[in-house]
């Protein structure tokens, strides 16, 4: 059974996480897909190819990506290289205090480039990426032509 984990599963968006895939065959070629839908329903995703190590594990912080959205060792690569499905869209979080981005991580067998709905992941998990920590208060600012928000720690 293939297991995908993100540690910690729930974190602030600027904090690093550790991504691990376990339970693969040694030297198995897999695609690690990360994707999310923004507040307008637009899909952003990254697809990266890895070869499992001798223990059947993949760790983007230790193992170099062979290609796809990026190549080389990037511990946060699946998050950093998210691209829109529709050209000229930008990933922007509008409701920073109310809800997180929920990033879905899936491992697919072999090199998967398309978005075939028949692609069945070998394993998956979900990570929450928050933009405001617990207890932080958001105060809207409107003074003359100045508009903004002040974030006060607890």
- Which tens digit of pLDDT belongs to each residue from 61-98? 999 999 999 999 999 999 999 999 999 999 999 888 88
Q: Domains of the chain, with CATH numbers? A: 3-152 (2.60.40.2240)
Reported as a pLDDT band with limits 50, 70 and 90, residue 105 is very high
Question: Has this prediction a pTM greater than 0.85?
Answer: yes
User: Is residue 152 helix, strand or coil?
Assistant: strand
The mean pLDDT of the chain is: 94
User: Is residue 78 helix, strand or coil?
Assistant: helix
Mean pLDDT over 45-52 rounds to 96
> Residue 82: CA atoms inside 13 Å, Cβ hemisphere, count?
21
133-136, long-range: CB < 8 A, 24+ apart: 133/12, 136/97
- Which tens digit of pLDDT belongs to each residue from 11-44? 999 999 999 999 999 999 999 999 999 999 999 9
Which residue from 38, 149, 9, 145 is spatially nearest to 101, judged by alpha carbons?
38
Contact (CB, 8 A) for 22 and 56: yes
Q: Please tell me the predicted confidence (pLDDT) of residue 120.
A: 87
Q: Please tell me the predicted confidence (pLDDT) of residue 129.
A: 97
């Amino acid at each position: 059974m293939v297991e995908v984990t993100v540690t910690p599963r729930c974190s602030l968006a600027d904090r690093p996480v550790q991504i691990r895939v376990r339970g693969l065959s040694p030297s198995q070629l897999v695609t690690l897909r990360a994707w999310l839908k923004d507040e307008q329903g637009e899909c952003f995703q990254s697809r990266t190819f890895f070869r499992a190590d001798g223990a059947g594990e993949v760790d983007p912080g230790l193992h170099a990506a062979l290609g796809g959205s990026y190549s080389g060792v990037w511990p946060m690569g699946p998050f950093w290289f998210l691209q829109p499905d529709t050209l000229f869209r930008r990933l922007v979080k509008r409701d920073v205090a109310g809800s997180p981005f929920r990033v879905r991580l899936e491992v697919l067998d072999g090199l998967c480039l398309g978005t075939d709905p028949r692609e069945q992941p070998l394993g998956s998990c979900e990570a929450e990426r928050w933009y405001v920590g617990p207890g932080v208060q958001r105060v809207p600012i409107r003074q003359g032509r100045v508009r903004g928000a002040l974030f006060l720690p607890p």
